[in-house]
């Protein structure tokens, strides 16, 4: 579990599924997202403990994560 104090995180599931936790750090409740589902982790919200579930065709999980504002450590030309 982790949180981003300076960024919001938006995730879009493009292939496969995601089983993860979001909310208080101690939460045991899990969320299950399928292809086409979207999640948002606002600033300061705990999330993670992810289980990536591959699809039937390629046994892969594809997720597009978008951070606002963009994270400096993920910029291509960080320097």
pLDDT digits (tens, 9 = 90+) for 25-72: 888 889 999 999 999 999 999 999 999 999 999 999 999 999 999 888
pLDDT on residue 70: 87
Full-prediction pTM beyond 0.85? no
Residue-number span of the structural domain to which 14 is assigned? 8-52+59-70
- Determine whether 71 is exposed, middle or buried from the number of CB atoms within 10 Å of its CB (0-12, 13-18, 19+): middle
**Cβ(20)–Cβ(53) below 8 Å:** no
2 in a structural domain = no
3 in a structural domain = no
Q: Which residues pair with 41 in a beta bridge?
A: 9
19 in a structural domain = yes
pLDDT on residue 71: 86
How many domains is the chain partitioned into structurally?
Answer: 1
């Amino acid at each position: 579990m982790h949180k981003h104090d300076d960024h919001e995180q938006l995730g879009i599931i493009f292939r496969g599924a995601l089983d993860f936790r979001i909310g208080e750090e101690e939460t045991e409740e899990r969320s299950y997202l399928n292809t086409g589902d979207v999640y948002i982790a606002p600033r300061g919200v705990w999330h993670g403990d992810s289980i990536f579930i591959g699809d039937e065709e390629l046994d892969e999980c594809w997720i597009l994560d978008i951070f606002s504002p963009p994270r400096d450590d993920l910029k291509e030309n960080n320097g």
